[in-house]
Structure 1
Amino acid sequence: MQVLQALTIFTLAVLCEIGGGYLVWLWLKEDRPWWYGLLGADVLRRGGVVATWHSVDLFESGPCEGQRRDCRQRAYFGRDGPRLFWKAYR
């Protein structure tokens, strides 16, 4: 159940990031109304909040041992994320 919850939250955060970035791109490059950019920025902001919802503590050992949650967040979405996620659940 924890794996499914973590994957769902991760997927939602990714969709927010892609969707928000696309709305900003449409505003800037395709001459869409200004509210596309505003909505895109809000979706990006919400995606950052969604990314902090995960409660699965995958990083008790590793690059962020004993450090604050923001370090774990960077590991989760950075280059170490997939490797650590797979290591925790195989």
Structure 2
Amino acid sequence: MEQHSSIFAMFGGIRPMARAVDEAPSNIAAWKRVGRIPAEKQPHVLAVGLKLGLPITAEHVVFPLGRPHATYDDLPPMPAPVLCDRQTDSQRSADRPSI
């Protein structure tokens, strides 16, 4: 099964995608350059892709150049949890009866 690297490749390139979603090719090129499709255009792009029979999902529209590859090894270590049995000022004031 062929794996497409981006939603732009799934549509066949910038110009075919521009024709399909009725946008200027310069807009599609800008989307590709910045690596995101504007939020207000995403539902339309997804609907057009599905209507054309392309195997796209919402993830393809949100991450048009592919999902960033972050593994747990790439992430900084999680800080140790801080446990405290003392109440904050706002918690203490909530326990006091109001006069």
Q: Give the TM interval when normalised to the shorter protein.
A: under 0.3
The structure that has the greater radius of gyration is 2
Using the size of structure 1 for normalisation, the TM-score is 0.28
Using the size of structure 2 for normalisation, the TM-score is 0.26
